[in-house]
Amino acid sequence: DFDSKKKRKVAEIYQALNSDPIDVATLRRMAISEGGLLTDEIRCKVWPKLLSVNTDDLPPLPGKELREDNKDYQQVLLDVRRSLRRFPPGMPDDQREGLQEELIDIILHVLKRNPQLHYYQGYHDIVVTFLLVVGDRLATALVEKLSTHHLRDFMDPTMDNTKHILNYLMPIIDQVNPEVHDFMQSAEVGTIFALSWLITWFGHVLSDFRHVVRLYDFFLACHPLMPIYFAAVIVLYREQEVLDCECDMASVHHLLSQIPQDLPYETLISRAGDLFVQFPPSELAREAAQQQAERTAASTFKDFELASVQQRPDTVLRQRFRERLRGEERTKSILTKPRTNRFVKLAVMGLTVALGAAALAVVKSALEWAPKFELQIFP
């Protein structure tokens, strides 16, 4: 029954968290499979592992001085003030206003520390989701890592890479349902209707917070392009509505831009995973007019995954932190000890989804330890 399945899943999640090294492959499978990570308490523990963030070495909370002479402050302020619907209904005004202030500070902190990133309208919809689930300090660290990896293409000075990602939408639809694809092409609807879905990870368009965090479990556990596959399965799920629509740009755009709130999310998540396996980005690249690979977040995903599987459980990290306090010099010598010929073997995503399982191994072979990230917190 449901309760026993839930208990087994919780036990498996905590077993993966306490493994040494942490069993990230299992955590990903848990985040993808039916029900996702189940509770915000579990998300607070698992999301940092999916993003390779050490919760015992978090940055200090941002200060209000970030707002002084900040070129993005006014736009961020306007967007945050318009974000009332992203907070739980019935939340007291003073509590909501406090969270909005924290939201502003988190965004400005990430932008100041990463001047190569550029703010875009909709970014705050992603940040507020993390803030509501994990709190301001952990959200700051998670959002910074996410912004320099999965969201990086959206934060370029231009929209070129964002348009490139949107260009995957029609080839995916064409592979599954050429009739819908041809109808949309005839209507010249384009893909702009899915822009807000993509750049907010659906946070802006879904009214039920439970559905938003369920999708975040899924996206955090998967390849950076998974949101565009999920966008495709929404369109495919609405096949009959699309084909019954007037075949003109305005009508089809209006239909598709109004996303239904009662979608069968677990079924669509399963389907998106299946489609990713059947039609991986590499097979769709030509149709999507792929730009230089090194310019996109997807190109560094393998390195990102290599870093994630070398994490240590929180208990081990805390013990090491105490040892460092007892003997800083001794610990320093340990941390700087050279390591050679370090290899890892991983299955990045095991898609064992209850509704139509698909096994996905983005990285199957043994890979030499050579990620481009700073890994000093994963000795």
Average pLDDT, integer, range 273-280:
94
Closest CA to 44 of 238, 217, 290: 217
Q: Name the DSSP class of 344.
A: E
- Look up residue 206 and give its two tokens: 């879904």
Go through the domains of the chain in sequence order and give each one's CATH number. 1-151 (1.10.8.1310), 157-278 (1.10.472.80)
Please determine, for residue 32, whether its predicted confidence score (pLDDT) is greater than 50.
yes
**Distance from CA of residue 193 to its chain's centroid?**
20
- Look up residue 325 and give its two tokens: 């306090």
Quick: pLDDT tens for 126-151: 999 999 999 999 999 999 999 999 99
Please determine, for residue 102, whether its predicted confidence score (pLDDT) is greater than 60.
yes
Place of tokens 């390849």: 223
- Where residue 311 falls among pLDDT bands split at 50, 70, 90? low
Quick: pLDDT tens for 159-187: 999 999 999 999 999 999 999 999 999 99
The pLDDT, as a whole number, for residue 326 is 62
Residue 103 CB contacts under 8 Å (≥ 6 apart), including other chains: 80, 83, 124, 127, 128, 131
Please determine, for residue 44, whether its predicted confidence score (pLDDT) is greater than 90.
yes
Go through the chain and tell me how many residues it has: 379
Rounded CA-CA distance 250/11 in Å is 50
Rounded CA-CA distance 250/182 in Å is 16
Residue 304 CB contacts under 8 Å (≥ 6 apart), including other chains: 52, 149, 371, 373
The pLDDT, as a whole number, for residue 377 is 25
Question: 0.85 exceeded by the pTM?
Answer: no
The overall average pLDDT reported for the chain is 81
